[in-house]
Chains A and B, each alone.
Chain A
Amino acid sequence: MATLQIEKLTKTFPPHSKDGRPVRAIQDISFAMSGQVFVSLVGPSGCGKSTLLNIVSGVDSPSTGTVTVTQDGKKARLGYVFQDSRLLPWRTVMQNMLYVSDLPEEEGRANASKYLEMVGLGHAHDMYPGQLSGGMQQRVGIARAFSVSPDLLLMDEPFSHLDAITARSLREELQVMWNATKKTVLFVTHDVMEAVQLSNRIITLAHGGTVFDDTTIELPFPRKASDPEFAAQQAEILGRFETMELERTAAKG
């Protein structure tokens, strides 16, 4: 179980054009999360969600503020599931799994097999990504992230490119895997229903990269969208979104 601590984080990108203004992707974000939690980050497009994950993963660096990810005081191991599967097209499924593994060859294979089995791709070891459907590729991406036994698992809209039915079944699988492993997860999504279904806690970001709202969801798992309490939670969060939009329109004049 990892602890993620974000304090007064800002991120400014250089201007896109020569005489443009610098892009402020994240204004001022502070929050902390720790232990066996599934935290969703929701917010409108362009509010800096992917940027935040990139900074947490160390791929990008903060402009100001600090981000620390620790595991019992040590540096934590990370897993990352991207919006697109990001597999090496010229390597087989198994080779893609081994690409990120730091176990010895034999152990790495056994470990990879275990996670491929878990996402229902036990038969696809020797297939190339180009031979898999989009949903299957995304499953490999998920297996890959789990296979490194991450202390903190980052997921950036992993189901948004998939059709509704595939997304639904993958969401259920993710739920099962999370229950089995109880990783610390930071999950980015556009979809409020998805967030309510999966998470213990939902952090809403506003346009311009600030925290707008931070809610805990107490419903027991597995959650069903047909459950009235589920619907109520979802309605409440959506209501806050509307408030946010109204405030924004009002502020604009």
Chain B
Amino acid sequence: MSAATMSRQPGFANSSIGRALRSSWGARVTSYFAFVVAWQIVGASFFRVPTPWETLDFIWREVSGGDHGGVRPGQFWEHFSATVPRFAIGISVAFVIGVVVGLLIGSFSFVRALLSDVLLVFLALPAIIWAFLTVMWFGLGWEAPVYTVILSAAPFVAVNVAQGVRAVSPELRRMSDAFGVPRNRRIRSMLLPAITGYLFTGLRFAVIIGWNAVLLAEWFGAVDGVGWRARLWYDAARYKGFVGWAIIFIVFIFLLDGLVLSPLQRRAFRWRASPSSDLKAEVGAVDTESFTNTAIGL
């Protein structure tokens, strides 16, 4: 029997299960499954690590307003609805400031000379510093979380936008010069679309960093909100509560990315949907590239 016919024999590698496992979807499911198993083992062996089931049970009680066994009933929505507006306002303001500063730095070399070191300092400052400072300035309340989000997220938008502006093709600039295209039209139709990839990278950074920032600031400087709630469980030494909230935070970011940011990004890149190109691959390529660039730029 020749080698060629041997390899055609049905075997595990060619069975449908084998193929499903090797597909990227299968690989993902496998990795989640392995994670949960590992977690279960660790949770069952150490008292201070809650098991997946305990954690899930906690999340359900917290979200449905159920009984936590004496401490307090679940209050997910109350705190979630306190945090989301802070986060949303902070991110929106950070985005606007970041875009304006980024455009200025990218367009004018003297602004760049003026602000690039300042920007570096802002990028290097961890959100926790802003959380402490804003609590000192504003006391407990909604201000500290909002300002912490703005101060920690805006610089990431600004660097990315500045980088995008500097990457705009000189040929298109010259074309616009030659036809005497007015400045505001140039910004709207040439500059902003040209930097969309960078804008999205900036926005994604801003969302992740801003979410961290709002949690930190609420942990130290608020009297409600999800950060404050997570701290409540931490202070009460209720491990499953703390881990449960950590999972909620992660799920929130995943949902935000999958349900809001990715569809927005696809919409913005409609023009790339030419028959010959794979939209997702191209958008992905832009992203990783500018992510790496930013990482190097840091």
Which positions in A face B, CB cutoff 8 Å? 54, 57-59, 78-80, 82, 84, 86, 88-91, 95, 99-100, 128, 130-131, 144, 148, 154
A80 and B172 CA atoms in complex are apart in Å by 12
Q: How many A-B residue pairs have C-beta atoms within 8 angstroms? Tell me.
A: 53
CB <8 Å contact, A54 and B174: yes
Q: Residue B193 at the A interface, CB < 8 A? A: yes
Q: Considering the complex of A and B, which 3 residue pairs feature the smallest CB-CB distances, nearest first?
A: A90-B193, A100-B179, A130-B274
B272 within 8 Å of A (CB atoms): yes
CB A149 to nearest CB in B, in angstroms, measures 12
Q: A59-B178, A88-B193, A90-B193 are in contact. Are A130 and B171 (CB under 8 A)?
A: no
Contact A130:B271 (CB < 8 A) given known A84-B171, A91-B193, A99-B189: yes
- B178 contacts which chain A residues (CB < 8 A)? 57-59, 78, 80, 154
Cross-chain contact B181 with A89 (CB below 8 angstroms): no
Partner of A82, one of B171, B181, B194: B171
Bound form: Cα–Cα A78–B178 in Å: 8
Neighbouring A residues of B190 by C-beta, 8 Å:
88, 99
Tell me, yes or no, whether B57 is within 8 Å of chain A by CB.
no
| Cβ–Cβ < 8 Å partners of A99 in chain B | 179, 181, 185, 189-190
Residues of A within 8 A of B172 (CB): 86, 88
B70 neighbours in A (Cβ, 8 Å): none
Closest chain-B Cβ to A5's Cβ sits at a distance in Å of 19
In the bound complex, residues from chain B placing their C-beta under 8 Å from that of A154 are 178
Residues of A within 8 A of B296 (CB): none
Chain B residues, Cβ within 8 Å of A84 = 171
Does A91 contact B271, Cβ atoms closer than 8 Å? yes
Query: When each residue 238-277 of chain B gets 1 if its CB lies under 8 Å from chain A and 0 otherwise, what string results?
Result: 0000000000000000000000000000000001101101
Docked complex: B77-103 residues within 8 A CB-CB of A: none
Which residue of A86, A128, A148 has the most chain B CB atoms within 10 A of its CB atom?
A86
Q: Are B171 and A86 in contact (CB under 8 A)?
A: yes
Q: CA of A120 to CA of B178 in the docked complex: distance in angstroms?
A: 25
Distance of A78 from chain B, by nearest CB (Å): 7
Taking the complex as formed, is B6 at the interface, i.e. its CB lies under 8 A from any CB of chain A? no
Contacts of A57 in B (CB 8 A): 177-178
CB distance from B183 to the nearest CB of A (A): 13
Instruction: Report the separation of the CA atoms of residues A78 and B172 in the bound assembly, to the nearest whole angstrom.
Output: 16
Would you call B298 an interface residue if the criterion is a C-beta within 8 Å of the partner chain's C-beta atoms?
no
Decide: A86 near B175, CB < 8 A? Known: A91-B193, A99-B181, A99-B189.
yes
Residues on B with beta carbons closer than 8 Å to the beta carbon of A90: 193-194, 196, 271
Shortest distance between the CB of B222 and any CB in chain A (Å):
42
Roughly how many angstroms separate A130 CA and B177 CA in the complex, as a whole number? 23
A-B contact pairs, 29 of them (CB 8 A): A57-B177, A57-B178, A58-B177, A59-B174, A59-B178, A78-B178, A78-B179, A78-B180, A80-B178, A80-B179, A82-B171, A84-B171, A86-B174, A86-B175, A88-B172, A89-B271, A90-B196, A90-B271, A99-B181, A99-B189, A99-B190, A100-B179, A128-B274, A130-B271, A130-B272, A130-B274, A131-B274, A131-B275, A154-B178
| A7–chain B nearest beta-carbon distance, Å | 22
Complex: A57 Cα to B181 Cα, angstroms: 13
Task: Kindly report which residue of chain A lies nearest to residue B275, judged by CB atoms.
Answer: A131
Chain B residue nearest in CB terms to A128:
B271
> How far, in angstroms, from A99 to B171 measured CA to CA in the complex?
15
Cα distance A99–B187 in the bound complex, in angstroms: 11
- Across the interface, do A148 and B175 meet the contact criterion of CB distance under 8 Å? no
With a cutoff of 8 Å between Cβ atoms, the chain B residues found around residue A80 in the complex are: 175, 178-179
- A144 to B172: give the CA distance in the assembly, Å: 14
Q: Which residue of A lies closest to B185 (CB)?
A: A99
Contact residues of B between 179 and 211, Cβ < 8 Å to A: 179-181, 185, 189-190, 193-194, 196
Q: How far, in angstroms, from A132 to B193 measured CA to CA in the complex? A: 19
User: In this complex, what residue of B is CB-closest to A131?
Assistant: B274
Q: Which residue of B lies closest to A92 (CB)?
A: B271
